[in-house]
Structure 1
Amino acid sequence: MRKETRIAFNGYLAQQAKINDVTSATEKFTVAAAPHQKLESAIQESNDFLKKINIISVDEQTGEAILLGVNGPTASRTNTSQNARNPRDPSAMTKCPYSCKKTDFDTAFPYALLDAWAKFKDFQVRLSSSIAERQGLDRIMIGFNGTSAAAATDLAANPLLQDVNKGWLQKIREVAPERVLDHGATPGKVTIGATGDYKTLDGLVFDAVQMLDPWHRKRPDLVVVVDRALLHEKQLAAVEKGAASNQEENAAGEVIKKGRLGNLPIEDVPFFIEGGVMISTLSNLSIYVQTGGRRRHLKDEPERDRVADYQSSNEDYVIEDLGLVALVENIKRV
């Protein structure tokens, strides 16, 4: 590490110790409330998808979904000369349980990289931003691919972080299997094509909406999250049609940018599962983070020519209203 890099990095350590009210950031510490919230905000702001969902701080490590949802209509009328009015509990729905599990977000920065960044005045911001961005991407990857929470994870065997925590889709499979369609006429797959379960992907989405509770099926904020590979044929047709003229090419670009499936807007997100479709609102997806559950330890490791940032957070992935989600997976074209 160069001299100017050491000066910049020592300044970073001093700043982290100051904002967390600890003697040294090179000893393991609990991240204080204010910097913890600032980090959570930075993680959320680092990705457009994360900006649209909920990241919620919870005091308890375990519990049930906490956002108040209205499970069906509340309007009614009662003949009070014969019966008493009976208010409906708007939160009376099948709740998605949560259990915030310790998740390590450990990052190593080679001296060579820090040397390259040290010449910039925003050295500390660059370092913090890179950490927040990577943690945000990891959360999305876990949210859509996580199926278990292993005691010791294996990145080689689970490159999409499948064993770090149970994500949103796994919660649907376990808590609300009636909201999942994973096979059709052929066991183990839902087929699309001339001889398939559905002729088109649009038809599949249009039908899958029926898995939502009736009062949610015509919500204006419904979106469809879909495997990008499944969209290839639909988008390829729009691109090829647009090749005839500039005007049509621009129109084709709008078709892709503002695409719809089954009359629902497409929400393009990274790391969504292959052969899958999910219908919901983005406000129905949450990440719960336990208050006071983030630990950190910054460590210079000269034997590896790097600086390590050991961080951990207690968190989980939650579907707020299980009646407001439908999942179709194992989709194959025939």
Structure 2
Amino acid sequence: MASASRRLVLVGAASLAAPRLAFAQAGWPSKPVRLVVPYGAGNLADHVARVLAEDLQQRWNQRVVADNQPGAGGAIGVQQIARAAPDGYTLGLVAMAALVITPHMTRAPYDPLRDLTPVAGVTVSSGALTLRSDLGITTLPDFVAAARARPANDPFFYYSAGNGTVPHLNFEILRRGLDFPAQHVPYRTSPAGLADLLAGRVQATMDSFSVVQPAIQTGELRAVVATPRRRMPELPDAPSIAEVAPQVEFAHAWQAVLGPAGLPREITARIAADTKAALAVPAFATRMPAGAGLFDLGPEALAEQMRRDHARFGALVAELGLRSE
């Protein structure tokens, strides 16, 4: 009888605890929410986070504070998200590289598939194979032919903002898919690489459209092919990769909201629904940088995207033998 009574007490306590937990979640948020941005000010994810924070702040009637925590390719900020209490008061706006590329290149202090809760996709940025206009190359087949024709000691050089960045991997995906030679030149920042592209020290890049757009508009650079599967409105004369080389599948540089592992389903669903509503406001898209589109994914779809990209880019990083410096 004593053990039976004890079981009744435990069941009773559990039944009382469940409503209290549900009530606490229903009252969320009751204080400011921290939105960790694992990058410096001015980064695309930083821009997206601040626009999203403004909208969610109005929906939640609580402050949503974008908190920049840069370093180690995003790993420092992601670690803070992973180690936070799973109560919905610490979230993050994270770019895909820190989740599905960086962990394969270094010993990241988190497991992105185990230590985080996928909540909502937000945006995706597009890139383009961009060349110096004075090369006189206007199509992807012409570029491939020109690259193959160059002597081995004088290849095409292309820049990215570092080993393992999305522009670096996308150029390698293109190079391997179409079988042409080119030499990677990693820079610490995109502006440094762009300066050398404009000066003629390198000849090509797959950088984000927002980086190369001004020089395309002045005619100094030419976009030969865009990374999305559909033609970009900002580049009406540049075909999408699906039009000219459908066998090539580029990486899509998405940004998403995540929380720590164990984030309650009710809070996850609330944040996901409110993020989706924010993306539906026309003004949200108009405030995004050139080449950035909406990436409207719910928790389950985002989790599946992370799993696929984690496996795919893990294999590519291993093939290329990439390690963080």
* TM-score bracket relative to the smaller structure: under 0.3
Q: From the two aligned structures, give the one with the greater helix fraction.
A: 2
Which structure shows the higher strand fraction?
1
TM-score, normalised relative to structure 1: 0.25
Task: Kindly name which structure, 1 or 2, has the bigger radius of gyration based on alpha carbons.
Answer: 1
Q: Which fold has the larger relative contact order, with Cα–Cα distance below 8 Å and residues 6 or more apart in sequence?
A: 1
TM-score, normalization by structure 2: 0.25
